[in-house]
Amino acid sequence: MFIISAPTAKLAAVMLLLDSNRGRFIPRDFVTDNLGALDLVHCAKWGLTEANREYWEAAYDPENECYWEAWDWILNNAEFVTEGGGKYTLLQDGDLWALCIARMSYEEKCGFGFEEI
């Protein structure tokens, strides 16, 4: 899993976090560390807190009946904000991406199917 830990000035506007080869395990892999445990620090960096823990705990278990609902909530609400104020959101199109739309080029926006912003 890609963990955002580089100095914020060096972060690209578009980052591939998890590729589609992980299939239905992308939600689980997003909220866990390399040992398969919930990654509380990573989740906190994306705005996943105790107040919304029910969502990221449900996304931890692919057999949970709320797994996909929880993942949809995470995709729509998770945000990573850099020290410089850049805001990254998540987009899944098979692969899971972190996007800082304000810093994306016109070509990058078109590549993701965004209208000119």
Name, in order, each residue with C-beta under 8 angstroms of 41's C-beta and a sequence gap of 6 or more: none
Q: Assess contact for 43 and 32: CB atoms under 8 A.
A: no
The reported pLDDT for the residue numbered 114 is: 86
- Burial (CB count within 10 angstroms: exposed 0-12, middle 13-18, buried 19+), residue 27: buried
CA atoms of 61 and 100, how far apart (whole Å): 28
Whole-prediction pTM:
0.88
6-54 per-position pLDDT tens digit: 554 578 999 999 999 999 999 999 999 999 999 999 999 999 999 999 9
Q: What is the pLDDT of residues 70-86, one digit of tens each?
A: 999 999 999 999 998 99
